[in-house]
Every structure is written in C-alpha cells, then in structure tokens.
Structure 1
Amino acid sequence: MSIRRLPEHLVNRIAAGEVVERPASALKELVENAIDAGASRIVVSLGQGGIGRIEVIDDGCGMDPDEMALALERHATSKLPDDEIDAVTTLGFRGEALPSIASVARLSIESRVRGADGWSRTIDNGRVVAEGPAALPPGTRILVEDLFARVPARRKFLRSDRSEYAACVDVVKRLAMARPDVGFTLDHDGRRNFSVPPGEDRPSRVAALTDRALAENSVGIDYERGRARLGGVAGLPTFNRGIADHQYLFVNGRPVKDRLLIGALRGAYQDMLARDRHPVVALFVELPGEEVDVNVHPAKTEVRFRDPSLIRGLIIGGLRHALDEAGHRSVQRPQDVAWQQEPMTPPAPSMPLWDQFRPDAASAASWNNGSGAQTLTRPAFQSQGQAMWEARGSYAPAPMARAETATAQPPEAVRFPLGVARGQVAATYIVAEAEDGLVLVDQHAAHERLVLERMRRAVADGGVARQALLLPEVVELDENGCDRLEARIGELAEMGLELERFGPRAMLVRATPAMLGNGDVVGLVTDLADELAAFDEALSLKERIDHVAATMACHGSVRAGRVLSVAEMNALLREMEVTPHSGQCNHGRPTWVKLAHGDIEKLFGRK
C-alpha cells in the first residue's frame, strides 16, 4: 500500500478526536480563547447539555475579518509571539481548537474590534457557508451547534445530556476559579446556573462556586518553597466529601488534573481523614514557566514538572502548615439539638439541710443506728453543728445521678463466638471476652454493616419503613447534584428516603429510613449526590442501590465516641454473629479482631 497525504477535512477530523472529545472539551477551548483575548466578562449559554448548542460571548479584543479567516486555519495562533513555547503564558497556544470544532459541527463566529465594524463567518462541518458584516458590541460571539451530528461514530459515544452538562459546568467553574478578576455567567436551556462578578478575591470566588459553607470551614494558604509558591483555600479535615470532585488544582493559572498533585494532596491529609473521605480544596501553584512543561497533552490538562519533589514538598508542607495553624478548629454545623439543663441541687427538705445544723437549731437531732433511737444533748449537738456550719462553704452539693434498671448478670462467654461485652475503650471499641480469647470490636464499622444488611433485606422484602419528618428539611446542593437525585427519586423512596425537588439548587427531605433514626439529613443527602455522581452511569441498578444503601447505613450507624451500655454492646455482638459479611464494614475494613489466649500469653512471656 502506497503512502498518501490525507485530505484537509480528514486531518481536521483526526485533530478533533484529540482536542474535541465531548462538548465540555469544545467549551473549554472557547472559554480559554475568551480569557486570552482579555475579556472581563464571559457569558456561556448551553443547550441539551452542550450537545445541541454552545454559545460563548466575551468583551475581549475581538478579531478583524482577516484574523478571523486565519484563526480558522490549523496551527494559526496569536498566542506565541516568538518560538519560546517553554515560556508560554496563555491558556491556549496550539491553534487547533477552532478548525477542529468547525470540522465536526456548525460553527458561527461574530467578532468586532473596538473602533471598527463587526464581521461574521459560518462554517458547517469544514465548509464555509456564509460570511458578511455583523452588528455586535466589541468582543466575540461564537456559536457551536449540533456537535458530531455528521460523525455518528463519535456521537453515539457521548453520554446523556445531564452528564455532558455536568462536565461543562465543571469546566467553566474551574476556569472561573482560576480567574477571579473575570466575571462568568452560565445558563443552560434558558435557566441560570451561576453568575459571579469580576474583581472577587480568590476565597470568595472558590466558596461561591463550590459550597458557601467553605468560607467558614477552611483555611487560607500562602506558602513558598524555593522559586515555587502555593496559594488557595483548603477545607478543614472535618469538612469533607464522599468523592474527590471538589478538588481543584491549578498550575500558573491553568486548571490541571495531575497525578503528582493529587498524590501530594492525599499525603497531606492522610492521617486526618478516613480513606473513603476527601477534602475540599482549591490549590494554586505558581512557578517560573521554564520549571513546568504544559505541552504534554493536546487538551493541556496535564503538566510535567522539572523538579517533582519540590512541588510535592510544597503542597504537603503548605497544607500541613495551614492546617496546623487552624489548631483545634472543626467544621461549624448548625445545631438542631435543644439542650436542657437539669437542676444540680436536690429539692429542699421541709427544713433546709444546713439549717438543721445551725447552732440555734430549735431542737436536738435524733437518728437510728439500727439498735434504737439515740438522742444528742443540745450542747453536744450545737458543738458539732457549729463546726459543720462554719465549714459549709467547702462542701459542694451531692452529685446527681440517674438510677438504671437492674439487669441480669452477663451470660457465659462459652455460649457465643464473639463472647460477651466486658467494657468499652475510648468510647469506640467494645472489649468482649470469648471462650478462646479477647475480642475487640469497632462499634461504628460493625453497626454500619448491620444497618446495611437490614436495609438490603428490607428492600428485598418490598421496601424500607420510613419515618416522616415533622418539619421537612431543605438541603442545598448544586444543580447537577439535584438533577441526579431527582432522577433517582423512585429508587430512593424504596429505601425509605422521600425527596422532592425544591427549586433549581435544593432538595426537600420529607422522610428518612426509620432504621437510621435521627441522623444527619444534610450530610446523608449530600453524600448520596456524590455517590450518584461517581457511579450513576457505570453501574447496574442493583449496584447503584447497594452504593446508596451503604451510604445511608454509614450515616445511620453508631458513631465512634458514643458510650454504650453493656446491654447495647451485647446486643450488637449477638446481631453480628447472625449477620452475613459482618466481619468487614461497607468500606472493606475489619469490624473485629481477636487475640487468642495463646497470643496474650506470648505478649506477657508466658510462652
């Protein structure tokens, strides 16, 4: 087979396969062009999740007709004034985006330079179909319609409109965080998703685009090491999420997804978070251009550092320093519990206690010591009463306590595989004595598995009993999270969680699974939205239900730090013995360990 030169339209389609993977990829290129053009405001409008329509309007420098024609040719760019690609400071510089998008969609460009007339050009899947004057304010308007409409092999691999829309929102949010000096507006099918004004400070911009509670539950970062600098916002360890979708990483103002940075972030939080929890952070790394290579991926989402150990140390050191300064701070959540103070002194007797021992007490005291009534003479009583009355200030009222119903002695350990409870350590671990050794149980992990298995059985039997809330709880989420929950309302109702859409960015909780008790409703719904974001499309219905049930079980289980009675500990042990898979929690961690008698004897040198 002889070698031939590929035609131009096929070259552009091949290039589009590298640059334009999905609507979010095209949107990223267009918004980056607007930022590089010096825009102070950027308006993005989407239709059908970006598959049907992408419109980007900016007030940047604009293009004249000759520049517009050149911009639609491959490898034509204004962002490399010289050949020093290692020192590039703009977001885009390859010159592939516009011709690649125009080869697989209908692309219309309208642009106007200040002090000149506007011009427009329309390209339909690689062919120029119209051009002429256009009336618009200074800046550029680009409209992309019917992406991959004539490339069915690519179109069929796109995901649902909702999933593509979520990816587009993520792209715009990351670029908006990188440039708080630029105002951003995002609309979808005529509905406003978010709008942030230009000129915000970085923490305010990050909080506005992630979670408004982040502002009160985070620390600022300003750290230097060598020629590198780390800035941004880091959430407190207690302000975490179920998946890592709220980790935003930037290098020299460029949003990236780099394994080195993610690994360093995990290392900084490793002893402060459970393995299945993830911090909320926005980290901005600034370093000289020659220290980082941004030209290692066509979409410019990956970078390569000249000194990776420096960057890793910068992130770990900067985060640890900021979190250490936060001290004992923890996440501030609204308190729904109405605390009630109990009286600290007993009810007063007919004659006050201390008055009975005053020197001028009217009568002598008598008591019964079991052998008959005895009486003190008035002088003896007054002498003792005088001493007690004078020392009354050094006494405190008797402590109050509640009496518990007497219970039978614990059963013999020989009857049960996990033994019987003997106590609790650190309000977290149950200590049980078995016939053949000592058993330690993680109460939270064990109860989490038990609740999950109960919920699975209830779902299999036709539904989980629900508990209606006296006052429905409003949970604020981002629009994509609400969309995911709304799409699964029926499945969640089968598991006892009754939800209702409450505006674009909120869900109304009317009932929760009865077996979860009075748990954290806001945390439960937030984690469910995260779980659906991570697994919704890739898993079968049964697997999705299992993930949702596991998340609910985690929120409904006995927490570490709760003091349990002996009866409660024994009840937990007995249920573990008859529950399948109770040896590990929903996240794969062991729920109990056993020290055999022989192991204990070895510890003390008896063997």
Structure 2
Amino acid sequence: MNSHAPNIRPIIRQLDETTANRIAAGEVVERPASAVKELVENALDAGATRIDISIEDGGKRLIRVGDDGCGMSPEDLPLAMARHATSKIDGSDLLAINSFGFRGEALPSLGAVGRLTITSRADGADGAVIAVAGGKPSPVRPAAANRGTVVELRDLFFATPARLKFMRTERAETQAVAETVRRLAMAEPWVGFTLSADGREIFRADAEQGELFGALQARLSRVMGRDFIDNSIPIDAERDGLTLTGFAALPTYSRGAAVAQHVYVNGRPVRDKLLTGALRAGYMDVLASGRHPAAVLYLTCDPQMVDVNVHPAKAEVRFRDPTAARGLVVSALRHALANAGHRASSTIGDATLAAFRAEPVVAQPQRAYQMEYRPSGGAIRQAFEAQAPVLGPGFSEAPTARSEPVETAAPMDAPLGAARAQVHENYIISQTEDGMIIVDQHAAHERLVYERLKAQAEVSGIASQALLIPEIVELSEGDAARIMAIADELAGLGLVIEPFGGGAIAVREAPAMLTRLNAAALIRDILDDLADQGSSDRLRARIDAVLSSMACHGSVRSGRRMSADEMNALLREMERTPRSGQCNHGRPTWVKLNLSDIERLFGRKE
C-alpha cells in the first residue's frame, strides 16, 4: 500500500493567490541575499546607472534598494505587484530573453512574505507609492519622488515565521548580501553601486569609464583586488556564435577553495556545472592538488542559444550546444595560459621578501637607542653564506654555493636575466637589469621536459597496446550508448572500445604508457563525468600524469652542478616554453626580487 495515499479520495482545490505567492517565494527568495539579487536585477533592467542598497540586521529587518532607472507610473504599480506580470517579455518566445528578470514573480513573492513598499516616478508622470504586507496590497497613493524607484522590504518572512528559523547569523547574512552585490557589480562596470549595513558603508564601486576591457579591469580591481588584475591574463575568444571575455589568474595565483571563480552568461551570474567544469579543465595540468583557479569569465551569445528559464532563481542555464560552450572555455584558457609563457605570480616575490625581512628587536636597556636586527628563519644567514665564496679573505667558504664567471654572453635584459651562481646545487641565481631571479632548476626543467613530451604526443598520437584478452565491461544500454558516443575521442587517446552486444562494451586496446589500467573502473569514472558535466578529461589526465612522471625522472636532478652555459640555456628555454612559470605540480619555478626591494632590506631605501 502506498503510504502517501489517503484512505479517502482527496479533493482538488484551487490555491488562493496569497498561498501561491508564498510557495513561489520559497523558490525565489531563499534568504535576504536572494531578495537583494532580485531587486538589484530589476534596477538594472530599468536602466539604472546608480544603485544604492541598504540593509539592517543582515536584511531581515530592512532591505532598501534605490535606483535612478526609468521608474514606473501610478498605473504600473498595481500590475507590478501582480503575479506573472512583467515588462520584460511579451510571452511569445521564452528563449528571446535579454533581461535579468522575466518571470514576474519577485515582487509579489516578496510582498507575500514581508512588508513591501514601492515608491516610483517615471518621466512625465507623478510619483506614487504602493504598499503590500503579507500579500495584501493597499491602494496606490501620491508620493514625492525623484525619477527612478525605491523598494523597501521590511520584516522579511514575518508572514512565514518558520522560514526565519533557517536564517543564519546577522554577520553571515550580511556577508551573503555583500557577495551578491559584488557579483552583480562585476558584470556591470558602467553602473555605480553602494551597499550599507546598519548605517555603515561596506561596499562602494563608482561607475567606470572607457571601453569594455578597461572598464572591467578597473571594476575587478575594486572588487577582486589589485593583486588579481596584476596576476591575471585577459581572455578574448570567439567560436560558433559564442564569445568569451574576462580575466583568468596565473596558476601560481591559485586559491585554497573555489571562492574566486565568477562566471557570467549574457551578463547574468550563474553557477553552472558545465562551465565550472570547463574552468577546471582549462587549468588541468598547471595547478597543484587541492588548489583552485581564480577567474572572472563572461560568456555571451544569442539568447536563442541558451535557456535561462531552468529554475526560478535563474542561477542555472542550459546551452543548446553544451559541447561548443565547454570547448570554447577550455581552449581559450589553455591558449591564454600557454601564451603567458614563463610568467609567475608577483605575490610569490612578495612572500619571498617577507621571508628575508628582519624583525626589529630592542637590544640591552643601556643601549636602547640602537636597534638590533634578527634575521627571520635564518634566511639572511643562509644568503650571506651563499655569497661567501665571492667575498674574499676573512669569510668561510660555503661548500654548497658556486659563483660563475661574469664574462658569460648571456644578456641581463632577457626576461630571466643572466645566470650568476648556483646555490645548494639546486637554485640558479640570475641577474636582471632591475633585480635578481632565483630558479628551482629541477622544477623548471621538469616542466620543460613535460611540455616537450606533450608536444610529441600531440604530433604522433598516443601509442596504444592491443590487449591479449579484450576486457568486457557490462553497462546499462544508456551508459553503453553514452560511452560509444565518444569512442573516437577515446581512440585518439589510445583507448579503443567497441560494442559487445546488449549493454556491454569491449576494451580492445589501451594506452601503452598506462601499464596497470583497470579499464572497467576508468570507463565507469568517465561515465560519471559525462553524467555530471557532459564531458570527461579523466583519460587525458591519466596520460598527462604519466607524462609528468616521465618528465620528473628525465629532468635535471636536484644536487647536480650546472655550468654557466647550461644554466643560461635553461633560462632561455624557460622563456620560450609555455607554462614554464610553474612546475607540473603547480608550484612556481622561479621567484623575482626587485633591486629596489632588496635595497630596502638593507636600509638603503625608505
């Protein structure tokens, strides 16, 4: 017996409008940040150039959003509070959507669960105000107002008190609102935003000027921080009617969590598995385990190519051709990172300087007017020891440091300078026109060998090995069809499969370099990827891991002494090789110290 079935036949009832709006509010308004998102998007759709947001008690007591957009007439206000009434679309084509809002649910939903007041004035019309509390509207009244709209939402969820139990602390809700405003501000650089919490301004981004990339760069500097822009690469690519722009950070400027990843589709911030998976794939072999890339990407296309009507919150999208969208993101990121060559994040040099920086310590009381400097972590002592061989009589020679003759023809104006010494048989010290560079010889050469192996594999293909006994993998008919749909792609990576009847497939050949391959487990993992994000890079990642291991064993080892010519040859090859700023495991291969910063360490500059 069905436990959900009652003993008597249920009666079908038409829900009243207030109840319907409260149900809709559960989908649209999850927390104060959701309400702010809906109201700010309405302001953007109204053509606002300035949006001011104020909240109290994390948005639970008050949310106020004011804009200088087109405004509404007194006749518009009652319609704005009616469910499924909207000025954004005419209903003839749900794919022709060029606005943030279009469902006509946000305002009536907010009015159903809180105390909502809208004051607005359009050009050529009188100002007016309408109030709705718990879904019950009041008559429209005249009001003094500037052009634009001010929406006040008080006592959120007072009409549905059970929802208040799911609210987090005031601080957490305020942070969520701030993050929502920041995400929207990053998509609209020509619009000014302010956010105040309990009377204190916590975010401000004035409208930017100039063309797209310049305006975006200035806005992202305000929101993401100057370090992000200084350590990122511009993205600008187009394919099959899709355009991708934005900024992607260098691999060495990675994060411990996916908190600095922002993806927009036609200006709408989205959290889409397909696109976030493509972002990870673009950084596949340049990030350390457990690290996440930082990027702000804007994907634009004809509205007919993407369905934004997937969920009431409009945070999910569905592409007509998901393969094209993913392929554009992956290829654009890989191409941009390859073109970045040997670049590494500037923050690595800052961290290196911090390791050398001395800590001021007050000496004995009778000599309190003098300052004694204590090296941090022994770094400065090691630096002096490394220079001992070239300091002349009176200094003990450090056996693990060697200087090279300066007569070398290597140019100091080259990006990575001219090799001058090798310390601890692993670190190359090179001199540039404005500072010095420290190179990890093993990590750098490992990346160079790895890139050569990958290039060779691209040209000659991945060699496959025929199995003596084909491995039969039993699958459902649907899974078998999905894996056979990418059979040609797998064959190009050395994995040859064919149907074996029913839902089974036969693995005939496997990549020769994968000597201990569990074909059944790999096939199922690939199927999981296909189900989760529509594609899989799992086999490519396995092959790259083997190539990386081969590169590690075939590269210059730590502890090997190198001549000046060898060191300079390594530096020049790094300058020519894509992604040489980080090793195969995502760690930096070199660090730069500017001469001005070094001089500050020794008190030569203030």
- Is TM (by shorter chain) over 0.5? yes
Q: Is 1:255 the counterpart of 2:269 in the alignment?
A: yes
Matched residue type, 1:92: G
Q: Is 1:53 the counterpart of 2:62 in the alignment?
A: yes
For residue 9 of structure 1, report the CA deviation from its aligned partner.
0.9
Matched residue type, 1:94: R
For residue 346 of structure 1, report the CA deviation from its aligned partner.
2.4
Tell me the TM-score normalised to structure 2 length: 0.57
Give the one of 337, 347, 360 matched to 2:393. Answer: 347
The separation in 2 between residues aligned to 1:401 and 1:233, in whole angstroms, is 36
| TM-aligned CA distance change 1:400 to 1:105, over 3 Å | closer
Correspondence for 1:122: 131
Correspondence for 1:234: 248
Contact 1:123 1:130 in 2 (8 A): no
Sequence identity (%): 48
Correspondence for 1:311: 325
Correspondence for 1:326: 340
Correspondence for 1:107: 116
| Paired residues, number | 366
| TM-aligned CA distance change 1:402 to 1:13, over 3 Å | closer
Q: Aligned runs of 1:329-408 on 2, under 5 Å?
A: 329-333=343-347, 334=350, 335-336=353-354, 337=356, 342=387, 344-347=390-393
1:151-194 deviation per Cα after TM superposition (whole angstroms, max 9, x unaligned):
12111111111221222112111111111111111111111112
For residue 206 of structure 1, report the CA deviation from its aligned partner.
1.7
Correspondence for 1:65: 74
Q: Is 1:219 the counterpart of 2:219 in the alignment?
A: no
Q: Is 1:34 the counterpart of 2:43 in the alignment?
A: yes
For residue 275 of structure 1, report the CA deviation from its aligned partner.
2.7
For residue 345 of structure 1, report the CA deviation from its aligned partner.
4.7
List alignment gaps of at least 5 residues for structure 1. 350-392, 404-424, 429-560, 565-588, 590-607
The SS at the match of 1:320 is: helix
The separation in 1 between residues aligned to 2:29 and 2:242, in whole angstroms, is 32
Contact 1:345 1:400 in 2 (8 A): no
The separation in 1 between residues aligned to 2:70 and 2:282, in whole angstroms, is 42
Structure 1 runs of 4+ off > 3 angstroms? 338-343, 399-403, 425-428, 561-564
Give the one of 160, 182, 186 matched to 1:173. Answer: 182
Tell me the TM-score normalised to structure 1 length: 0.57
Q: Which has the higher contact order (CA 8 A, sep 6+)?
A: 2
For residue 279 of structure 1, report the CA deviation from its aligned partner.
1.2
1:292-316 deviation per Cα after TM superposition (whole angstroms, max 9, x unaligned):
1110110100000111111111001
Matched residue type, 2:332: G
Q: Aligned runs of 1:448-597 on 2, under 5 Å?
A: none
Correspondence for 1:43: 52
Correspondence for 1:155: 164
For residue 128 of structure 1, report the CA deviation from its aligned partner.
2.3
Matched residue type, 1:318: A
The separation in 1 between residues aligned to 2:129 and 2:194, in whole angstroms, is 23
The separation in 2 between residues aligned to 1:73 and 1:53, in whole angstroms, is 22
For residue 262 of structure 1, report the CA deviation from its aligned partner.
0.7
| TM-aligned CA distance change 1:107 to 1:321, over 3 Å | same
| TM-aligned CA distance change 1:228 to 1:4, over 3 Å | same
The SS at the match of 1:220 is: strand
Q: Is 1:277 the counterpart of 2:291 in the alignment?
A: yes
Matched residue type, 2:132: I
Q: Is 1:7 the counterpart of 2:25 in the alignment?
A: no
Contact 2:78 2:140 in 1 (8 A): no
For residue 212 of structure 1, report the CA deviation from its aligned partner.
2.1
1:555-580 deviation per Cα after TM superposition (whole angstroms, max 9, x unaligned):
xxxxxx9989xxxxxxxxxxxxxxxx
Correspondence for 2:93: 84
Q: RMSD across aligned C-alpha pairs, in angstroms?
A: 2.9
For residue 30 of structure 1, report the CA deviation from its aligned partner.
0.4
The separation in 2 between residues aligned to 1:193 and 1:274, in whole angstroms, is 34
The SS at the match of 2:95 is: helix
Matched residue type, 1:331: S
For residue 400 of structure 1, report the CA deviation from its aligned partner.
11
The separation in 2 between residues aligned to 1:347 and 1:159, in whole angstroms, is 68
The separation in 2 between residues aligned to 1:402 and 1:95, in whole angstroms, is 68
The separation in 1 between residues aligned to 2:421 and 2:184, in whole angstroms, is 60
Give the one of 17, 36, 39 matched to 2:26. Answer: 17
| TM-aligned CA distance change 1:401 to 1:426, over 3 Å | closer
Q: Which structure has the larger Rg over C-alpha atoms? A: 1
1:14-54 deviation per Cα after TM superposition (whole angstroms, max 9, x unaligned):
11111111111111110000000000010111111111111
For residue 199 of structure 1, report the CA deviation from its aligned partner.
2.8
The separation in 2 between residues aligned to 1:266 and 1:348, in whole angstroms, is 55
The SS at the match of 2:151 is: strand
